[in-house]
Amino acid sequence: MKSGDLGRGFTGLIAAIALGPVAAIALAAVLLAYVELRAPRPGCEIRTILSQSEAPDHAWVATIWNSVCSDGWFVTTIDDTVEIRTPNEPAAPVPTGVVFGMDDHPFGVQKTLAVRWIAPRSLEITIPNDAWAGVQKSTFGDVTITYKYVPDDPVERACLRVWRSLPTEEMVRRSQSPTDNIKAFVAKCHAEGGPH
């Protein structure tokens, strides 16, 4: 073996070591691009109009939607929303113009959700007293929004806010208890006149 051969072998070894991380990064980039191109797209699989009402002057339309939406991977949500748009605006494939949004009630449970224009720029939204609202706006553009609860029980709503502020693992633990679940918690809280 000549001394030049040893140098070339050593240079080749250095090149292989140096290219290892570069090759790993290139492979990771190719795999990431493949996953991104093959990834399901986020959006709503099902959007159903439950109710719709147009303002008296026809400037706005309030629509109650039930939407089954996905983040594109593992999370699917079922929500009821009230959305406001102009009459010439097409319905969107995903929630837009949302002024009220709540978790959907379980199948078979009656939904007390309604919209009613009480003036051209005043919308009243009727919602269940126990609604778990993620969005609850009081205005949209030039529209003022008020809420009517059915049944109207502010003490129960305050008790539910306390329950929902508990850490998730605490809610889960209590939900499995026949004496400390959400119904028992709200009943006890209500009997005490609300949270203190």
pLDDT of residue 126: 96
Q: How many domains does the chain have?
A: 3
Q: Is the pLDDT of residue 98 over 70?
A: yes
Q: pTM for the complete prediction? A: 0.71
pLDDT in tens, 135-153: 999 999 999 999 999 999 9
State whether residue 158 is helix, strand or coil.
helix
Give the pLDDT of residue 119.
97
pLDDT number for residue 57: 97
Quick one: 164 and 125 in the same domain?
A: no
What is the average per-residue pLDDT within 88-107?
A: 86
Asked if residue 196 belongs to a domain, the reply is no
Distance (Å, whole) CA 56 – CA 35: 50
39 burial via Cβ count (<10 Å: 0-12, 13-18, 19+): exposed
Q: Is residue 134 in a domain? A: yes
Q: What is the mean pLDDT of the chain?
A: 83
88 and 5, same domain (yes or no): no
Statement to judge: residues 140 and 187 lie in one domain: no
Asked if residue 174 and residue 113 are part of one domain, the reply reads no
Q: What is the mean pLDDT of residues 53-77?
A: 90
Helix (H, G, I), strand (E, B) or coil at 183: helix
Q: In this predicted structure, what is the pLDDT of residue 125?
A: 97
Unique residue bearing structure tokens 């996953």: 35
Residue 146 covered by a domain: yes
